[in-house]
Amino acid sequence: MKKRVISIIIMLLIFIPLFITGGKLFTGLMTLIALLGMHELLNIKETDNKISLVMKVYSYILLVFVTLNNIDKIDFHYTMDYKMISLIILMFIIPMIFINDNKKYNIGDALYLMGSTLLLGFSFNLIIMIRNYDINYLIYLLLVSTITDTFAFITGKLIGKNKLCPNISPGKTVEGMIVGTIMGIFIASSFYHVFMNPSYSLVVLILITGALSIVGQLGDLVFSMIKRYYKKKDFSNLIPGHGGILDRFDSLIFIVLAFILIIGII
């Protein structure tokens, strides 16, 4: 517990000033975190099959391109950059022909790298764009994520008896999910109502915040499934007491992806 607290304090001391400052400093931090997340996904994949160094370099480069794509264009309407997506597909699929060795690089590896690049690239790109659009929106999403996770963890430790998904994440409980969701809704919705839009329907706000909280917990379970598949407890030991970058950002990644679907109504 002591390690967890010290790690949280250090992370906050780094994150909060850059979060408030925004601009290039915050963009740089998010890009670095995205790269560290990709590093963890590549490392955990290599417990099953080594990945070509060239393909790993491609992954990092393409991830940066996706993360920084159109971050100055604050427009959340549904658009698709076919050039970017075509580049990613070609850069990961075509090398199979030249490597010509299924043990070194196969379709499974290509799809894993492609999916990892798009998942992390899109989500961290959205985090940067949301911060540029309005800092309060990102505070709201961070509250949904952190409050839900914190109270789910504490409740599970104190009174949790019924396992939520024991085969995926043995530590998660039904009690933790319920209390985490309720507290995430209460605190995040209160922030939105008081500081962002007091006239917005509380019923709709509560429903949206609840949906985001649940999606965040599902995202946590998705990343837990990845770890279980590769027989790992954490993505890395980068953050003492917490695990890796993806162990901390797993729920937020899914929350921002879900948020972009409903931003037009909130």
pTM of the model: 0.92
Q: Quick check: 128 and 30 in contact, CB under 8 A?
A: yes
- What's the rounded Cα separation, in Å, for the pair 255 and 185? 13
pLDDT (tens digit per residue) in 212-255: 999 999 999 999 999 999 999 889 988 887 789 999 999 999 99
Q: How many residues does the chain have?
A: 266
Are 179 and 78 contained in the same domain?
Answer: no
Are 66 and 128 contained in the same domain?
Answer: yes
pLDDT (tens digit per residue) in 190-200: 999 999 999 99
Give the structural domain span for 251.
Answer: 135-266
Last residue of a domain, one of 133, 156, 178: 133
Are 112 and 201 contained in the same domain?
Answer: no
Residue linked to tokens 């915050």: 26
Last residue of a domain, one of 133, 150, 182: 133
Beta bridge partners of 39: none
pLDDT (tens digit per residue) in 58-88: 999 999 999 998 887 766 665 667 888 898 9
- What's the rounded Cα separation, in Å, for the pair 220 and 216? 6
Q: Let me know if residue 8 belongs to a domain.
A: no
Give the Å distances, CA to CA, from 62 to 58, 84, 86, 206, 252: 6, 9, 12, 37, 21
Q: Let me know if residue 102 belongs to a domain.
A: yes
The count of structural domains within the chain is 2
Give the Å distances, CA to CA, from 64 to 34, 88, 97, 211: 8, 12, 25, 30
* pLDDT the model gives residue 77: 62
